[in-house]
Copies of this chain bind each other. A is one copy, B any other.
Amino acid sequence: MIELTLEENLIASKIKKIKYESGSHSPSLFTISEQIPELTIKVDACFLSNPYATELFIKYLKEDLIETNKLRDVLEFYPSQNNIIAGFVSDVINVDKKNIFVGNGAVEIIQAVMQRFVKRKAVINIPTFSSYYEFANDDTEVVYYQLEKENNYEICVEKYLSFIKDHNPDSIIIINPNNPNGGYIPYKDLFHIVNELKEINNIIIDESFIHFAYENMDYSLISATDLFKNFKNVIVIKSMSKDFGIAGVRSGYAVMDEAKVLELLKNGYLWNSSGLSEYFFNLYRRRDFHEKYELVRKKYIKNTSDFIHKLGNISNIKVYPSKANFALIELIDGSTSADFVSKMLIKYGIYTRTGSDKIGLTGEFIRIAARTEEENQIILDALNDLF
């Protein structure tokens, strides 16, 4: 069982205070480093993103903007309006730009969708990403569908469908793969769900981690965007932060019915993309970038699945099945997740995320992100040392 030294306990209380001030999200590494300078952080395993993709993006940005002195244009001038950038996305995902809304990160879109389109009642699966219930309107009834621990927090399709039919919501939210456990709903099951729920106004499918999921050993990309082509009540929300490793750029988009895009644009979201986000979306449609991106995407999936497999061999923890770029682990030796997070941060310089603030999780949970192969090894070594 993990126990903290006196000195570690002092730092742990500072960590708790910073976490408390950050509400239901993790404080950034900047914030922690600034407020607890005595910490040396080696690996940010709280942070869910593909580091190889970040490298690729930085390489392009250096060549395209820094070496050419075009960076100034990107910073100085107003970026293009939403429908122009939607056109860039359209080129990649093969959906008409009228059905694409570009956001300042996916979370801006979550806020917009929850507040503009979700009306009477929403069913949200838990555990989940908290913004979906936090940003719901006060007069929207939020009903939680508890993913079952016995089923590894994976969805049981028929139970879910009968729950939805019983509760008759106007909106449902599915994160696929789900955060914080990484549970994945195969495309055919998702099709079945959507096909059964034609009367629901908004079927919100958050695919922020879909680039890490796979159904074949070629790791081919799958997306609910294809469902949208047949079911106009589907809203697909996509963060670019995780798969492209650019959380600081704030890029996301959503696919939805044209009338919904128009309603959003009529009411705001002017210049909501930064110049760098516009640059990213312009890059996203370039074939040469895309080919290189596919290589780092697949490399990262391979590393991640090796990492999660090795985590499974460590004693005193249970690793939940994941098709995202992280693993939910449960401490089963009586240790608390708070002590685990503190110990990992203070003794090993590894930042992990507690699951203690996630509603719908019962037990002592930690979410650990996969990083580079070398960083994953540091995490594995630390865990083997710890237990």
Residue positions of A touching B, CB distance < 8 A = 21-23, 25, 27-31, 44, 47, 49, 51, 54, 57-58, 61, 66, 71-81, 83-84, 104-105, 107-108, 111, 115, 131, 134-135, 241, 245-250, 266-278
Provide the residues of chain B in CB contact with A248, threshold 8 Å: 73-79, 274-276
Question: What's the Cα separation between A51 and B66 when bound, in Å?
Answer: 18
Please determine whether A47 and B274 come into contact, CB atoms closer than 8 angstroms: no
Question: What's the Cα separation between A30 and B73 when bound, in Å?
Answer: 9
Taking the nearest CB of chain B, how far is it from the CB of A104, in angstroms? 5
Question: What's the Cα separation between A269 and B271 when bound, in Å?
Answer: 15
Taking the nearest CB of chain B, how far is it from the CB of A24, in angstroms? 9
Beta-carbon nearest neighbor of A277 in chain B: B274
Please determine whether A54 and B79 come into contact, CB atoms closer than 8 angstroms: no
Q: List 12 A-B contacts (CB under 8 A).
A: A31-B81, A47-B78, A49-B76, A54-B75, A79-B247, A79-B250, A108-B268, A108-B272, A131-B268, A249-B275, A250-B274, A276-B276
Question: What's the Cα separation between A111 and B264 when bound, in Å?
Answer: 11
Beta-carbon nearest neighbor of A136 in chain B: B267
Q: A267-B135, A274-B249, A276-B276 are in contact. Are A28 and B77 (CB under 8 A)?
A: yes
Q: A74-B248, A107-B270, A274-B249 are in contact. Are A22 and B81 (CB under 8 A)?
A: yes
Provide the residues of chain B in CB contact with A21, threshold 8 Å: 83
Please determine whether B104 and A246 come into contact, CB atoms closer than 8 angstroms: no
Beta-carbon nearest neighbor of A135 in chain B: B268
User: Per a CB cutoff under 8 Å, which of B22, B75, B83 touches A276?
Assistant: B75
Pairs A-B, 7 closest by C-beta atoms:
A248-B275, A111-B268, A78-B247, A75-B248, A54-B76, A250-B274, A107-B270
Q: A22-B81, A274-B248, A276-B274 are in contact. Are A71 and B58 (CB under 8 A)?
A: yes
Please determine whether A249 and B107 come into contact, CB atoms closer than 8 angstroms: no
Most buried by B among A31, A241, A250: A250
Provide the residues of chain B in CB contact with A71, threshold 8 Å: 58
Please determine whether B84 and A72 come into contact, CB atoms closer than 8 angstroms: no
Taking the nearest CB of chain B, how far is it from the CB of A330, in angstroms? 25
Q: A72-B54, A274-B274 are in contact. Are A80 and B30 (CB under 8 A)?
A: yes
Provide the residues of chain B in CB contact with A266, threshold 8 Å: 134
Please determine whether A76 and B247 come into contact, CB atoms closer than 8 angstroms: yes
Question: What's the Cα separation between A271 and B23 when bound, in Å?
Answer: 13
Provide the residues of chain B in CB contact with A268, threshold 8 Å: 107-108, 111, 115, 131, 135
Taking the nearest CB of chain B, how far is it from the CB of A19, in angstroms? 12
Question: What's the Cα separation between A21 and B82 when bound, in Å?
Answer: 11
Beta-carbon nearest neighbor of A275 in chain B: B248
Question: What's the Cα separation between A30 and B74 when bound, in Å?
Answer: 10
Taking the nearest CB of chain B, how far is it from the CB of A13, in angstroms? 20
Provide the residues of chain B in CB contact with A269, threshold 8 Å: 111
Beta-carbon nearest neighbor of A84 in chain B: B31
Provide the residues of chain B in CB contact with A83, threshold 8 Å: 21
Please determine whether B246 and A75 come into contact, CB atoms closer than 8 angstroms: yes
Question: What's the Cα separation between A251 and B272 when bound, in Å?
Answer: 11
Question: What's the Cα separation between A105 and B108 when bound, in Å?
Answer: 14
Q: A268-B111, A269-B111 are in contact. Are A30 and B77 (CB under 8 A)?
A: yes
